[in-house]
Amino acid sequence: MLKNGESESILYRLYALSGLKDALKSRRHFSDYIFKVILGLVIIIIVSPFFLILFQVAGVGFWQVFGTGPGQGLEFLFTFPGAGLEGGIRNAFVGTVELIVVASAVGIPLSVCGAIYINEYTRPGHVRGIVEFTSDVLAGIPSIVFGAFGFVFLVDFLHIGMGIIAGSLTLAFMMIPTILRTTQEALRAVPMSLREASLALGATKWSTTWNVTLRAAFPGVITGFLLAIGRVMGETAPLIFTAGNSLIVPTELAGPGSWIASMPYTIWAYISDPREYLQVKAHGTALALMIMVLAIDLIANLISRKVTRRLV
């Protein structure tokens, strides 16, 4: 048995740090140790695909996005497709941005207002229950079902036709549940006392909601926007039958002139093509898309972490 003085030596500390000291005491200590080691390995298995995917996508696509040659770097994002490796993916890049902007313009007000209504103007009960339930169902619906619905409802039934409008409306439908539920969570986290303080000053529910509650919940609401945008930005399936595809940026709101390309769709189209330069371009597009999506996700993460830290 070690005396107290010895337990301070460096070797002993390393030994203690490895956990082996305890593991060898009995069978139960040992199985506890093995269990922890196995779980440690499991977590490595779980996160490793992230690095494998990053390695593949960045390995081939890095110079497309960060290089300075023809069709690389900014030229990759901002020139239209050309022959071979020349030209970029301006149609897809601008297309994705336009789709997201229009989808947000429709989806964000709709879902924020909806969240305000069910959180501030209803008591827990039927209306709130139904809206919460249907948004959860909506969040679980496969993206291809959204695509098929967008096709049959927007393109066919409403005669909007394929293009930017149908595509971004379909994406807006997909954004609603995410934003609605995160906004609702954010509103719910605003302490009741804050609302009461405003109401006690004689403000109406309306102005309390807009000036006090929503302002307090704002970071949470922004997180919801970002998460929803990040999610639909990478969606391919809903766009296949609603947005069409195009080598240029849409110039009209209806008809073939409104057909619009997107980055995910472009990746899909290029990757199934045997020509090698298109594969390289697919990787470049995938890398650019990943960077955009992950950056948005990261910002959302930072905001929500900052908020929780402030509240705690």
Partner 1 sequence: MPEYEHNIEVHGLSTWFGKKHILKDITCYFRDNTVTAIMGPSGCGKSTLLRTLNRLNDLVPSFRRKGEVLFKGTDIYGVGTSVYDLRKHIGMVFQKPNPFPMSVFDNVTYGPKLHGVKDEDELNKIVETSLRKAALWDEVKDELQSPAPNLSGGQQQRLCIARALSVDPPVLLMDEPVSALDPISAAKIEELIIELKQDYTIILVTHNVQQAFRVSDQAAFLYLGELVEFDETKRILEAPADSRTEAFITGRIG
Partner 2 sequence: MTMTEENETITMQEEEQIHSWHSQLLRNISKSLHDFRMADRPGKVDMLGKWGLFIPAVASTLIIVLILAFLWFESVPILVDPSGGPGIVVSPTWDPNRDLFGIAIFIVGSLLCAGIAIGLAVPLGIGGAIFLSEFCPMRLRQPIKMIIEMMAAIPSIVYGLWAYLVLVPIIKNNIAPITQSPTNGLSLLAGGLILAIMLLPTVVTISTDALQTVPLSLREASLALGATQSETSRKIVLSAALPGVGAAVVLSLGRAVGETMAVLMVTGNSLQIPYSLFDPTYVMTSIITNQLGYAFVFPLWRSALFAVGLVLLIMSICFTLTAKLFIRWGMKTRGYI
Binding site for partner 1 (CB under 8 A): 1-2, 7, 21-22, 25-26, 28-29
Q: Which is nearer to partner 1, 21 or 36 (CB)?
A: 21
In the chain the first and final C-alpha atoms are separated, in Å, by 45
Q: Which of 165, 176, 186, 278 binds partner 2 (CB under 8 A)?
A: 176
Cβ pair 218, 112 in contact under 8 A? no
Residues 6+ positions from 299 with CB-CB distance below 8 Å: 226
Tell me the CB-side half-sphere exposure of residue 270, using CA atoms within 13 A: 26
Q: Tokens at residue 155, please?
A: 């393109």
Pick from partner 2, partner 1, none: which does 197 bind, CB < 5 to 8 A by kind? none
Minimum distance from residue 175 beta carbon to partner 2 (Å): 11
Minimum distance from residue 26 beta carbon to partner 1 (Å): 6
Which value, to the nearest 10 degrees, does the dihedral of the CA atoms of residues 192, 197, 202, 204 take?
-30
Contact between 50 and partner 2 by CB under 8 A: the answer reads yes
Q: Which is nearer to partner 1, 28 or 126 (CB)?
A: 28
- For 37-77, give the DSSP string: HHHHHHHHHHHHHHHHHHHHHHHHHHHHHH--STT-THHHH
How long a stretch of residues is the chain?
312
Pick from partner 2, partner 1, none: which does 157 bind, CB < 5 to 8 A by kind? partner 2
Q: Which of 38, 192, 200, 312 binds partner 2 (CB under 8 A)?
A: 38
Q: Which is nearer to partner 2, 79 or 301 (CB)?
A: 301
Q: Tokens at residue 101, please?
A: 């902007």
Contact between 243 and partner 2 by CB under 8 A: the answer reads no
3-state helix, strand, coil in the chain (%, to 5): 75, 0, 25
Minimum distance from residue 298 beta carbon to partner 2 (Å): 7
Contact between 157 and partner 2 by CB under 8 A: the answer reads yes
Stated as kind and residue range, the H or E segment containing 143 is: helix 143-149
What is the Cα–Cα distance from 262 to 267, expressed in whole angstroms? Answer: 9
Pick from partner 2, partner 1, none: which does 141 bind, CB < 5 to 8 A by kind? partner 2
Contact between 283 and partner 2 by CB under 8 A: the answer reads yes
Pick from partner 1, partner 2, none: which does 235 bind, CB < 5 to 8 A by kind? partner 2
What is the Cα–Cα distance from 43 to 125, expressed in whole angstroms? Answer: 41
Count other C-beta atoms under 10 Å from residue 230's C-beta. Answer: 20
Pick from partner 1, partner 2, none: which does 21 bind, CB < 5 to 8 A by kind? partner 1
Contact between 298 and partner 2 by CB under 8 A: the answer reads yes
Residues 186-225 contacting partner 2, CB under 8 A: 202-207, 209
Contact between 113 and partner 2 by CB under 8 A: the answer reads yes
Contact between 133 and partner 2 by CB under 8 A: the answer reads yes
Pick from partner 2, partner 1, none: which does 142 bind, CB < 5 to 8 A by kind? partner 2
Burial class (CB in 10 A: 0-12, 13-18, 19+), 119: buried
C-alpha to C-alpha distances, 259 to 87, 91, 171, 254, nearest whole angstrom: 20, 10, 15, 8
Minimum distance from residue 114 beta carbon to partner 1 (Å): 35
Minimum distance from residue 289 beta carbon to partner 2 (Å): 6
Minimum distance from residue 61 beta carbon to partner 2 (Å): 10
